[in-house]
Structure formats: structure tokens, C-alpha cells
Structure 1
């Protein structure tokens, strides 16, 4: 009986020892990890431009003013068609006709009517900067440019490049830390991505947004670049 008890005690002690060793091994394996945050960015050229145009004409009557705007609009439509701008790229934003007034000897005197029309046009593609310059130069007389805004629609390529750069940054940091710890960098055991940061557009405006530039140097447009950033939190094993 005593011999059996001794055997049981020995087995219990062995089990306790092995369990402790296993727990220690698990803890050591867990400790042999490093978690870093990598940041990457990518810049792309805008692939869309939105242009807001306005027309205004005066006339003795409201009909005269509207007809004058209609004639200017026909010339504008011909220009847009010549630049292969489809009708679905054009949107009427506002149309108005109102009495025009003058002041004579301190009194307000009716001076016919003024008709206005505002529309937006968008261009897309790889050469929007050049296309916008060409369109601006060919706009008919009495058509004003209210604003020109460049933006980026196809963002996936830039987002992918930013994440790739973020991973390489994380890997570089982890490799340095592993070297300092006298370890080798192992496999990735966890990775998470935060939302890409807000896009930042560098200022891009026509030199004059109130009237059409009269010379080539004045009508130069700059699309700038759009930057996308990404952050990755990566955990590596250390061997």
C-alpha cells in the first residue's frame, strides 16, 4: 500500500511539474512577440474636375433677357459638344429672371430685366487637367467660370499602395526590434487595419474664377495631388 501511495505521489508531482513547464512554455511563446504600427501613404493625380459656369444677359423685357441667355447657351452647348462633353456630364444648377434696377437722383428706376443661368460640368479621365484647360480656353464670350475643383474618384489603387507601404514600415520596425532583442523575425500572427485617413487635396483653382482668362498663361490650371494614408497594426513572432 505504501508503495502504491509513493507511486501516486510521484505521478502527481510529475504531472504538476509538466503542467508548470507547459504553462511556462506557453507564456514564453506568448512573450516572444512584437506588435508595431506601420504607416504608409500614396499620392495620386486627380481624375475628375467639376466646373461651374454661369451666364447672364439683360433685355428690355423678361422675354428678351431669356432669349439672350438662350443664344449664349446654344454657343456654350456647341462648345461642350465639340469637346465631347456628354449631356449626362452637364447639370443645370439654377435659372432666374428678375427685374433690373438703376438709381437715378436717389430713386430706383426699372432698367429692363436680367436673366441668369448656372450649370455644372464634369470631366473625367487621366488628363483632366489638360482637358479643363482646353475647355476653359474655348468657352464662348459672356460665359463665366465660377469655380474649378479637382478630385479623385478611383481611390483603390492609392489605398492598396498606402497599405503596402504601411506593412513594409511595420515589418522594418519589427525587424529592428527583433535584432535589438537578439531574435529573428518570424511569421505574422495578427494584423489589423484602421480606416484610411481623410484625403487631402492641395489647393487647385483657376487663376481667375470670375471670368475667362484671356491669355494662355492666365488659363493654366494645376490639378495637384491627392494623398491617402493607411495604418496597420501587425504582430510578429520572434524566434
Structure 2
């Protein structure tokens, strides 16, 4: 009797860590911080994971860095694509992990236990996806500028402009194919539309991992200029209307205003 309980206890502890994670990094002319990104993935401890890297045909020396670490990649390809989300879709189709997440080429995991924490949460909670906290950092100094502190999942928060931090979002692989991959019709808002589709419209089960997961360097294609910011606003609005949120304009305005609180935490 005691032996049986002991074996069950050991199996339960081991089971928490048998889930395999796929991390996908999309690269295009990202040589400045790419190596730090790669090392933060390869340095993850206590977890079974694979690393998929999709390069869009970089011309800035990124390929030299990627070739240096290519033996550590489960899948790697360098070819022209139709942007970040097209490349992400390529990576998702190649994934064999039970859980899939992304790490942008400029960003880093916050510590070596991030993926282990992801696996432990999935193993101990009945969820389809999880998300956590994120810091925005200065590109060179890595000084923390803003903190994206999230909250326990509540679908109605989308009406007030909320969304999880996309780089902290991990979802079961099979779920990606239930309601479609990233749409290429929303530009830099493709991640927002994806979140709305899965979390708001189809209401998959999501959990909040209350940990700092990613250090994200400031920048990004939606913040480059007034023209890009205007287009990002219109793409956000298009996504909100598609998923029939009750007050589209106020939702997007609140989405912008909510960023102010990230400077105050």
C-alpha cells in the first residue's frame, strides 16, 4: 500500500515535467540582439523543449549567428516570407511540442526557469493556454522602462482594451489548428486578432501565470512612425469589429490609454 502511494507520488511529480515545449523565434535582420535571445532559450533548465528558428532571408549578419547555433535548433530555415506572422505560421506547422510559444529575436526570457514554470502550470491546471508578465527594456542598457503586469483571465476585460502580452502566451499545439493560425490580413495587429479569436470569440480556457516571463526590447513595427501607429490603430479596430466587441472605438481607445499604467507599476 505504501509502495503504491510512493510510486504514484513520484509519477505525479515526474508527470509535471514531461510536457514538451516548442519555442519559435522569427528572425529578419536582427543581428544586434539575436545571440542574447538564442542563449536565453538554450539556457532554459529542467524542461523538455525544442527550438524552431525561421529566418526571412536576413542580409545583416544574422545568418552567421544562426549558423553558429544551428545544431541546437530542432528546425531551421532561411527563405523569404510574407512577414513575421507568416514565418510564425511556418514554425507552428513544424512544431512537435505539446505547448507552443514564441520569443522575438530582440527579446529574452527573464530567467532560466520560465519554460519549467510554463510546463508546471499546464500540468497542474485545466487550461488550453496561459500568459504572464513582461518587462519592456531599453535596447542597449536593458533598463526596465515599463512593466506589463497582467491579471487573472476575464473575457470581459477585452471590452476595456485588455489583452495578454503576446510574447508570454503559450497554447496547446492542437488548439492552434482548431480555429486557425495567425491571419496575415491585420498587419501588426495579427497577434491581437489572434487573441480575440481564441480567447474572446471561441473562449478557450486560459490561465494567468503570475511570473515575469519575458524582457522585451522597446521598438516594433507598430511603433516605428506616425504612419505605422495610425495603421496599427486601424488594424486593431478592424479586429475588434470582426469579433463583434460591443463598443469598438472605445475598446481601442482604452487599449491605448491602458499602456500609461505600465509606466506606473
Q: TM-score, normalised by structure 1?
A: 0.24
Of Structure 1 and Structure 2, the greater helix share is in 2
Q: Which structure has the greater CA radius of gyration?
A: 1
More contact order relative to length (CA 8 Å, sep ≥ 6): 1
Relative to the length of structure 2, the TM-score reads: 0.22
